[in-house]
Structure 1
Amino acid sequence: MSERVDDVDGVVRQAQAVLAVTLQAYVAIDTEGRVLGWNPAAERIFGFTPAQACARDLADLIIPVRFRDAHRAGMARLAAGEPGRVLGQQLQLAAVHRDGHEFPIELTLTVTDEPGGRVFHAFAHDDTTAQRAVRFAVVEAAVAGGLAVAESSTVAAARVVEALGVRMGWPVVELWLVDDHRQVLTCVARHTEPGQRLGDFALDELEPGIGLPGRVCADGAARWIPDLSADGVSLRSAAAARIGLRVAVGVPLAFGRHTLGALCVYAERMDDPEDTLLGLLGRLAAQVGQYLERRRAEELTVELARTKDEFLTMVTHELRNPLAVISSSTALLDEELDELTSEQQHEYLRIITRSAQRLSVMTDDLLDLARLESGHLAVDPIDTDLRDIIEQAVQANATLAAGKQLTVTMQLPERLALHADPTRLRQVADNLLSNAIKYTPAGGTITIAAGLDDTGETITWTVADTGIGIPTADQTRLFRRFYRASTALEKCIPGTGLGLVITRTIVERHHGTITLAEHTGPGTTFIVRLPSTTPSA
């Protein structure tokens, strides 16, 4: 008899040894839900030691609060001997760790009848990795599908952030791209969950090196900010913390060694491990980077073809007309020279001169644009006065304005000191003023205003007119080479479509910006912002 007891004890010890080393969590509970058994794997998965878990109610330990009543009701039915549909089945459930975070488990439940009553045996393992792999695969498929059918880079960016935000449950996802021409970062797509208010966090442009997107692009490396409220580097981190965003991750969008932008996500918490999440975002960023580079190449091909067509159109109309005038006037002058009065001869010469000047302006514009965009045209800043530059431009264009009975008003302080190239800013002033004169009907008004902002570091310069205006559909293409607004074409107003391109290039070479103000009535207002000091200062 003693030998049989020893055999039983040996089997029990062997079973306990197996449970101690198994990778699955083993939990035994009685009919009242109290823990009877708890192996080391259960401690690793749920965070409680056997001493902390045994004799306690399992529901209070690892069952999420919202499921506890249903769990206890189900256990009561099993304890009463009712057939259980969950017995012997693989169940996908949610569990709570000792530290409070919730995670998925896969569990199998069996029951045995012991001398002291029924005992339930649960074998479980953490299913986070498997479910994460499935979720990540779904996200990657959604992103790949979105990129495959996107008809433009803008649509592609929107689909990427939406796929990440919706599938991963992140409240804010942003995709930023580097604008090499303007030397800024632009948020081309942003996803926010319903009800999420961004406030002053929602910026659309950032300087290089500023904020999480700027730092990711500057370093070309991923960044993880575990606590935005403690990130003293960026004011945007403080804005994020104020609206409940605690954690942020950013990865670079790159093609080869060239950084194209940054993909950034913000959330209250991120349950996935840092290296795992960075791996997912890194793979997605590589997908997006390849797509953007391919799309840019395609768009560049289209842009070159369009530019060629528009250049040929400009040459046909804007160069052929003055050449035709010069040719015909010269021929008439030659044929009728003996019969023309001195005044008539001078009038022919004035016509030829005006046409030649028009050709000269177009040639200079083309040369200036090529030099400015290639960086071969020098910009030599000195301490100068913007008021003097504007006044000189107004005086030079006074005859043209008077010929159309236009009223030109200046609202300028005594002096507007800045560090800039006066010759190039004079080009800006001439272009903006001549455009205002050209596109404003007789009897209209042109108002030029400039002044320092409250910080004393930025000059805001506006040129407003009561002219024909620019349709909303044309405004996004206004600074494109050779582009002419539809209103100008309809009224057959001559022009090369280069003046504003040159103006923007000069302004940006001075670390400034030029934008078109929103208009509710007729006319157009251009806003130029320039630093009053050198960028280093």
Structure 2
Amino acid sequence: MRLDEPGGAVETAAEPGLPVPRPSDGLLTSGAADKIAELVARAARAPSGLIYFIEGGDRLCLAGAYGLPGLREDAADRPIKGSLAEVVLTGGQPLVVTDLATEPRLPADSPLRAVPGAFLGHPIRDETGEIVGLSCAYDTAPRSWTPEQIAAVAAAAQVSTLVIAEQRARHEVDRQRRFLDTVLDSLHDGVTACDADGRVVLANARMREMWAGERATAAVRDAEAVEGLTDGHGKPIGCGDLPLFRALHGEHLRNEELAFEGRARSTRYYLVDAQPITGPDGRVTGAVQAVQDVTRRRRAERFRTCELRVTTALAEARGIEAAAPRVLEAVVSTLDWAHAELWLVDDAAGVARPAARWSAPGWADDIDTPSELPYGQGLAGRVWQVGKPLWIRDVGRPQSLISQETAATSRLHTALALPVRHGLEPLGVLCVFADTIEDPEDELLALLSGVAALLGQFLDRRLVDDLQRQLARSKNEYLALIGHELRTPLTSISAYTEILGELGPDALATDGPALLEVIDRNTAKLRHIIDELLELSALDTGHAAMTMAPVDLADVVRQSVRRTAEAIDGSPLELTADLPDELMLPGDRRRLQQIVDNLLGNAVKYSPDGGRISVRLTSAGRAAELSVSDTGIGVAPDEREKLFTRLYRSSMVRDRAIPGTGLGLALSRAVVHRHHGTIELSDHEGPGTTVLVRLPLDAR
């Protein structure tokens, strides 16, 4: 605003609530400037007082005013040049004007020459002596200014200097505090400081976020400050063990370990640095600590340990029976969850069965695991169906895929299940359970997906290893067959052919037919062996023709049972059958007939001393189950796994010289596999053997 304009002063600021412009550099607040302007007016016995500050070097900004009516808003910010203020600010000395109309320092064309009035101004300096503004009194009539009044305006300017220095100091303190707060709040670590009495005077945003609620600002002697906290060994700590308290008593701490267990047993881990704060006299005036949340780092380390334990277990185990419990133990202990299960898929039967389970201490007797789960049912069955991980936040809620009874009695909550597969082929399901409610975590899902992948690779690799061992054994047994099963009939054929060549006409007529019958019988035996080998090779390579159509398996079994009953009529064997009226499934009738005939033929062959043969056909879930049991010579336990490999004959069979090629069960297994089924020796009470075949009822 220009002081050489009539009516250019701002209206009175006597009313405290009246807003006035504030200096842009924050030298004085408007309230303080108004009070100083009032002091100027009263001390100079003038009707008006004004406080201005320099803005941008060439303009005046009104900071405070008193006793001037008629405010013009555009007069609050005016150029310095050409005004009375320019005289004061340029000369750096007080300006005393008794009559504006006759003032020689006013420009000749100044409108103030036509307006009566008096002006008294004094420069305002900051603590460094630099002129920063103007303190002035204004009267609407010419008058003289006494030395006391001039001194009063000068004193008001000095007061302004002191107030400016104080407010600048406060402004600088506030600026530094804001700067420090911004720096502290940008840190990833939590920072807390306390005074000499242990009262927390500073806690940055990260600290308040990590230790929510009043814990972050609780005094070091409050019980609330240590609730739920333990040291690195899991031992609860007291107030005297807090790093901030110890630092307050002179200790310097580095990488002090702390852990905090929340209400949902979610444990967080911290590393703390703390040290005392000393004053100029060396006395401790407080303490400060920096808290780093290392939960993710600790979890990553545990995850790496889990992966190492899983890899080691799989590398050292010869089979899934030995590897699975160790894998589940590693998973449960790493996650600090309650229970884990590994389910293996029986594709032919359409069910998943538990292969192993592991529970944390105190949980083993509380968790009931079903003996099997059909495809699409239960947690394992559903994951098998959808082929992707499922995270259930609380299994106790309806539609959680876990029975309400199991969830209630086991006290389980969160469940995570993942498919175990090799490529796209489902092999099993890995399930883990927690006794708390956990939200989905990408890191945890990634870890267990990796464990499931390792299990899939292990299962597939073991299958390949088994096939390689079977191939090597089959090769050796094939060579043995060449040396025995093929050589024996060939020797007979060769010998009898030589005898025929040496017989005379009369002997040839007499003995020739018998010799030719022996040759023909051995030739047929060779042809049968060769045909079975060729057929087995075609089935294994997928080249054998399969005519798939709806087949009544009950009728197929019924026909085989009838033929077998006719064949053993009069022998000491008893044959019973438990068959449904009809059981339809997709298959090759001729091949299925071949399986049943082979199983019944083996039961008869390997029961040379008589006994009982039982045939049973049922449906279980989405699979047909055919069992053929006998009370014959049985199979040694260590030979059960080898029985379905080609050319293998058990030691009991060889000891009793029971004829055969060792190809029948291998052929049966190949046909069953082409029907997407399984064949195995099942548990059998007493002497004898039970062979169980499962075939899917649905087309695959």
Judge same fold: TM > 0.5, yes or no: yes
Shift of 1:471: 0.7
Contact 2:561-2:577 within 8 A present in 1 as well:
no
- Residue aligning to 2:434: 267
Distance change in 2, residues 1:465/1:140 (3 Å): closer
Contact 2:314-2:458 within 8 A present in 1 as well:
yes
User: Which of structures 1 and 2 has the bigger CA Rg?
Assistant: 2
Distance in 2, matches of 1:523 and 1:99, equals 56
- Residue aligning to 2:67: none
Distance change in 2, residues 1:519/1:112 (3 Å): same
Tell me which of 470, 482, 506 is aligned to 1:338.
Answer: 506
Total equivalences in the alignment: 525
Distance in 2, matches of 1:380 and 1:300, equals 27
Residue 165, structure 1, aligned to residue 332, structure 2: yes
Structure 1: unaligned runs, 5 residues or longer: none
Distance in 2, matches of 1:254 and 1:77, equals 50
Distance in 2, matches of 1:103 and 1:459, equals 53
Shift of 1:484: 1.9
Distance in 2, matches of 1:69 and 1:169, equals 18
Shift of 1:407: 1.7
- Residue aligning to 1:63: 227
Per-residue CA deviation, residues 76-115 of structure 1 (Å, 9 max, x unaligned), is: 9998x9996965343211124577633112223445699x
TM-score (normalised: structure 2): 0.61
- Residue aligning to 1:464: 629
Query: Structure 2 counterpart of 1:39, which letter?
Result: N
Distance in 1, matches of 2:243 and 2:450, equals 48
Contact 1:310-1:482 within 8 A present in 2 as well:
yes
Distance in 1, matches of 2:699 and 2:188, equals 61
Distance in 2, matches of 1:448 and 1:122, equals 80
Shift of 1:46: 2.3
Structure 1 residue matching 2:213: 3-state secondary structure? coil
Distance in 1, matches of 2:326 and 2:378, equals 23
- Residue aligning to 1:408: 574
Tell me which of 484, 504, 519 is aligned to 1:317.
Answer: 484
- Residue aligning to 1:503: 668
Select between 464-473 and 358-367 the one with higher mean Cα deviation. 358-367
Structure 2 residue matching 1:279: 3-state secondary structure? helix
Contact 1:461-1:528 within 8 A present in 2 as well:
yes
Residue 446, structure 1, aligned to residue 605, structure 2: no
- Residue aligning to 1:93: 258
Structure 2 residue matching 1:228: 3-state secondary structure? coil
Percent of aligned positions that are identical: 32
Query: Structure 2 counterpart of 1:535, which letter?
Result: D
Residue 535, structure 1, aligned to residue 695, structure 2: no
Tell me which of 479, 483, 487 is aligned to 2:644.
Answer: 479
Shift of 1:433: 1.7
Distance in 1, matches of 2:318 and 2:250, equals 50
Query: Structure 2 counterpart of 1:472, which letter?
Result: P
Contact 2:194-2:287 within 8 A present in 1 as well:
yes
Tell me which of 667, 673, 684 is aligned to 1:519.
Answer: 684
Structure 1 residue matching 2:399: 3-state secondary structure? coil
Distance change in 2, residues 1:188/1:330 (3 Å): farther
Structure 2 residue matching 1:522: 3-state secondary structure? coil
Structure 1 residue matching 2:253: 3-state secondary structure? coil
Shift of 1:468: 1.1
Per-residue CA deviation, residues 204-248 of structure 1 (Å, 9 max, x unaligned), is: 7874x6665566566665443333345837458985675334333
Structure 1 residue matching 2:643: 3-state secondary structure? coil
Distance in 1, matches of 2:197 and 2:468, equals 73
Structure 2 residue matching 1:60: 3-state secondary structure? helix
RMSD: 4.8
Shift of 1:28: 5.1
Per-residue CA deviation, residues 269-302 of structure 1 (Å, 9 max, x unaligned), is: 4869611122333445555666666666665544
- Residue aligning to 1:279: 446
Shift of 1:308: 2.0
Shift of 1:347: 5.2
Distance in 2, matches of 1:98 and 1:415, equals 61
Tell me which of 29, 38, 46 is aligned to 2:211.
Answer: 46
Distance change in 2, residues 1:421/1:293 (3 Å): closer
Distance change in 2, residues 1:478/1:64 (3 Å): same
Structure (1 or 2) with the greater helix fraction: 1
Structure 2 residue matching 1:276: 3-state secondary structure? helix
Contact 1:436-1:446 within 8 A present in 2 as well:
no
Residue 390, structure 1, aligned to residue 558, structure 2: yes
Structure 2 residue matching 1:201: 3-state secondary structure? coil
Contact 2:373-2:380 within 8 A present in 1 as well:
no
- Residue aligning to 2:26: none
Query: Structure 2 counterpart of 1:432, which letter?
Result: L
Structure 2 residue matching 1:521: 3-state secondary structure? coil
Q: How does 1:202-241 map to 2 (within 5 A)?
A: 203=371, 207=375, 221-230=388-397, 232=399, 234=401, 239=406
Distance in 2, matches of 1:236 and 1:510, equals 33
Distance in 2, matches of 1:85 and 1:172, equals 47
Distance in 2, matches of 1:450 and 1:78, equals 77
